[in-house]
């Protein structure tokens, strides 16, 4: 079993939740609810990881944290 960290945000225009897993190409999805998003994300991750080479799976990115940065514009 592999554990990954997804970045989730809510799109203000559509109202949909959007999930992205950095470091795994194609690992992104969207849904109307967080429960649906989790189901969709599990499905897309299974597909993405199935296509990845075993040596790449061993070096998936490690989640470190999130930072907010204030900019002047």
Interval 31-61: pLDDT, tens? 999 999 999 999 999 999 888 877 666 777 7
pLDDT digits over 14-32, tens only?
999 999 998 888 999 999 9
User: Which tokens belong to 70?
Assistant: 């204030």
Using an 8 Å Cβ cutoff, are 32 and 15 in contact? yes
How far, in Å, CA of 56 to CA of 10, rounded?
A: 30
DSSP string, 3-72: ----EEEE-TTT--EEEE-TTSTT-EEEESSHHHHHHHHHHHHHHHHHHS-HHHHTTPPPP---------
Using an 8 Å Cβ cutoff, are 6 and 28 in contact? no
Fold of 1-73: Double Stranded RNA Binding Domain (3.30.160)
Domain ranges of the chain: 1-73
Query: Does the pLDDT of residue 13 top 90, yes or no?
Result: yes
**What local confidence, expressed as pLDDT, does residue 4 receive?**
87
């Amino acid at each position: 079993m592999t554990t990954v960290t997804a970045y989730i945000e809510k799109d203000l225009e559509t109202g949909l939740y959007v999930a992205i897993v950095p470091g795994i190409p194609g690992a992104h999805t969207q849904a109307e609810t967080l429960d649906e998003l989790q189901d969709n994300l599990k499905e897309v991750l299974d597909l993405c990881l199935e296509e990845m080479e075993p040596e790449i799976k061993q070096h998936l990115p490690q989640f470190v944290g999130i930072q907010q940065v204030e900019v002047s514009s």
